[in-house]
Amino acid sequence: MARLEREFFLQDTVTAAQELLGRYLVRTDGGETMVCRITETEAYIGAIDKACHAYGGRRTRRTETLYAAPGTAYVYLIYGMYSCLNFVTGPEDVASAVLIRGCVPVHGADAAAQRRFGVKAAEMSAYQRKNFMNGPGKLCRGLSIDRGLNALPLGSDALYLAHDLPELGLARRPDRLAFHTGKRIGIDYAGEAVDFPWRFWLDE
């Protein structure tokens, strides 16, 4: 198994968002390990991005994690109830991160389905299968990711990213991976940043 290390997260945030597509998100909770292939990401860069919580260097109790070491997990709530998972990128004290917007379970799907819908994967309806983890709040619900994991440092066994997991038969993504690029979702308040093409996704 090759985990993503500090050097990966030190690269340009937009590049990191693209490079995370096809990588594996690994979550261990309650003795169960769930693995997903990342299919959708968004980049956020505080210095210039009005959609970022740390725009213009804003530093608050909520945003402090964005200034942490590269690879740190940044988990926040939207609408007061849905968790969103990000990973800090770039040098420490420079606020930027990649939001994990969507993923596809490739191991431990039953455990994730129980957390998401209270049923095993094979018992999900067609609607549930389509909407299993195709959104940041949905994937956090399925993987039991909440604010308790905010500021989790790189290297934790509870939550990490990997290039491959050969022990599970999961190979590395191709070096060249076709993906789509577009505007980010749900940031109508963000002025000119609305048009930044910093959302990236795969055809599942």
CATH number, domain containing residue 39: 3.10.300.10
Q: In terms of DSSP H, where are the helices of the chain?
A: 6-9, 13-19, 109-117, 126-130, 136-142
Per the structure, the complete domain to which residue 101 belongs is given by: 2-201
For tokens 């070096």, the residue is 175
Strand pairing class (180-182; 82-88): unpaired
Q: Per-residue confidence of the chain (204 residues) as pLDDT tens digits? A: 799 999 999 999 999 999 999 999 999 999 999 999 999 999 999 999 999 999 998 899 889 999 999 999 999 998 878 999 999 999 999 999 999 999 999 999 999 999 999 999 999 999 999 999 999 999 999 999 999 999 999 999 999 999 999 999 999 999 999 999 999 999 999 999 999 999 999 997
**Number of separate domains in the chain:** 1
Neighbouring residues of 89: CB distance < 8 A, sequence distance ≥ 6: 9, 10, 11, 12, 13, 16, 70, 96, 97, 98
The pTM of this model reads 0.96
